[in-house]
Structure 1
Amino acid sequence: MNMQDKLQDLITNDYEFKFGEYFSRGWQLFGKKPGHYIGFFALTMLMIMVVAFIPVIGSIGAQILGGVLMVGFFVFSQNIQYNANPTFDDLFKPFSSFGKITIVQLIILGFTIVILMPILIFGFTSIFSGIFDIVQNADYYDNNPGAVFEMFDLEAMIPLAIITYLFLFFIQTIYMFSNPIAHFFNVSAWESMEASRKIIQKKFFHFFGLIILLAIMNIAGAMCIFVGLFITIPLTYTTMYAAFDDILKPTEANNDSLANDDSFEKRDN
């Protein structure tokens, strides 16, 4: 079944979102190769940090690399799921889809910039108007230093910031499967993004809740002197893979002989 047929089937017939099972499956996958997952995460962070230091394009390059290596976690998890000889090389197999993943990441980056524009414009406008006001009324602010904070319209900034973050969460949620779809289903960047959007919008609040819980889990990991992230971030990827595998069944799409059963529950090896 190709991506178009799979998409039409999911939209027409709907699908079940197995919230608790995705966390359970993610933990099972992580538990089978914890050393590999932790090593993958350490190597991923090292590579991203090195790329991030490249002048001018470092931040963009790091985002693209992060997208590619995230799919590497999916490839490794799939091979564990189906006992298909998982190896350390799995992390780098998505580089075969580097071009498509790059386009996906750049489009998402573009959406992110557009979403951030209102709050950035508002913030810079407030700052520059405040500086101009200080220059014009220097004596007043010298005698009333606390009045400096009154220049900034925090009452307007707070709701604008909340709306901005909600839109950012929305974008991150509906496109969370874009890169894996581009790689596993071998479709174009935009086709993968549209497929991800249409599939996730069917159960948007389920996915949104999943993202929120994963974010809370990683915040808790960061609070443990960041050491906890070596467990929570790989667990985030394995949980996301469990949802991806159950809903889209990529092994079926690729006519993989490992996919002998459509049932998520019966594919536990």
Structure 2
Amino acid sequence: MINPRKVERLLNSPIQFDIDTALKRGWELFKAQPLILIAYFLIVAIVQFGATYFLEDFSSIVSILVAPPLTAGFYLVANKISRNERVEFQDCFDGFKFWLPVVSVNIISGIITVLGVIALIIPGIYLGVAYAFAMPFVLFAGTEFWTSMELSRKLITKVWWRFFAFVLLLVVINIIGLLFLGVGFLVSGPFSYMAVYAAFEELTGDLLIEDEPENSLPTSQF
């Protein structure tokens, strides 16, 4: 569990978000395991497009129940790469170990965002961007869905416009990837997840680093 004092300190302190740093770090994470990430992204794309084509009216079930843990897999792999841990292809599917919390946070944040769009559109855009770290908080802080959503919202709100520009830039990168006969999307897609994780690491700082246990007082010598 995250340290409440660290959370308070982070949210009450000015923070900086360097888009260039997040993109460069995201690219480094991608380059560390390009074959695994591309292969996994291809599987995710096949599952999602296959569900849309074959299941038709029931494709939303896949989006709600299967897509979130598949997305979580990218962040979990990014975390392992960042920690210099060995990564194997099956690690990509570890998101299913967190099935209930990631599905819950995805459903609730999605509903609130849609309600925001219905209300005045602008609140929906704000929340859609502000909840970008809700899933990473669930995965790496162990917080329940509402706390994760609020931590994400409060943190990103401090740099909302810069983060919004970051998201738009990733959208442009993926559009360019699609224009290259879709082949470039196999790189831009997983890279985008790595970049979002890199941004998450940059903005959370030492928040998720476990505190060292305090050493016990030395025994008195007589």
- Fold shared per TM-score above 0.5: yes
User: 1:204 is matched with which residue?
Assistant: 160
Change (3 A) 1:3 1:94: farther
- Taking the TM superposition and a 5 Å limit, the aligned residue runs for 1:218-257 are 218-249=174-205, 252-254=208-210
Please give the alpha-carbon distance, in whole angstroms, between the structure 2 residues aligned to 1:227 and 1:15.
37
Q: What is the rounded CA distance, in whole Å, between the counterparts of 1:211 and 1:75 in structure 2?
A: 20
Amino acid at match of 1:49: F
What is the alpha-carbon distance in structure 1 between the residues aligned to residue 125 and residue 66 of structure 2? 21
Shift of 1:112: 4.1
For residues 157-236 of structure 1, what are the structure 2 equivalents within 5 Å?
Answer: 164=121, 166-236=122-192
Q: Distance in 2 between matches of 1:112 and 1:15?
A: 25
Structure 1 regions of 5+ residues with no counterpart?
119-162, 257-269
For the pair shown, the structure with the greater C-alpha radius of gyration is 1
Residues 10, 207 of structure 2: 8 Å contact kept: no
Instruction: Give the aligned partner of residue 42 of structure 2.
Output: 42
Matches of 1:251 and 1:95 in 2, distance apart? 25
> For residue 78 of structure 1, what is the aligned residue in structure 2?
79
Preserved CA contact (<8 Å) 1:73 1:90: no
- Report if the CA contact (8 A) 2:105-2:135 is conserved: yes
Which residue in the other structure is 2:219 paired with? none
1:104 aligns with 105
Between the aligned residues of both structures, percent identity stands at 26
Cα offset, 1:72, TM superposition: 1.2
> Gapped runs of 5+ residues in structure 2?
213-222
Structure 1 CA distance for aligned equivalents of residues 34 and 154 of structure 2:
33
Structure-2 change in CA distance of 1:13 and 1:79 (3 Å): same
What is the CA deviation profile of residues 148-171 of structure 1, one whole-angstrom value per residue up to 9, with x for unaligned ones? xxxxxxxxxxxxxxx73x544322
Q: Is the 8 A contact 2:27 2:194 kept in 1?
A: yes
Shift of 1:97: 1.7
**Residues of 1 paired with 2:130 and 2:63: CA distance?**
21
C-alpha change, 1:19 and 1:5, in structure 2 (3 Å) is: same
In structure 2, the CA distance between the partners of 1:42 and 1:254, relative to structure 1 (3 Å rule), is farther
Aligned length: 211
CA distance, structure 1, for counterparts of residue 36 and residue 21 of structure 2: 22
8 A Cα contact 2:114 2:124, kept in partner: no
- Structure 2 counterpart SS, 1:13: coil
> How far apart, CA to CA, are the structure 1 residues paired with 2:118 and 2:15?
36
**Cα distance, 1:225 vs. partner?**
1.8
Distance 1:56 1:5 in 2: 47
Cα contact 2:104–2:145 (8 A) shared by 1: yes
- Taking structure 1 as the reference length, what is the TM-score of the superposition? 0.70
> 2:17 matched to which residue of 1?
17
Query: Which amino acid is 2:7 matched to?
Result: L
* More moved, 10-19 vs 224-233: 10-19
Deviation at 1:42, TM superposition (A): 0.4
- Asked if 2 retains the 8 angstrom alpha-carbon contact of 1:3 and 1:253, the reply is no
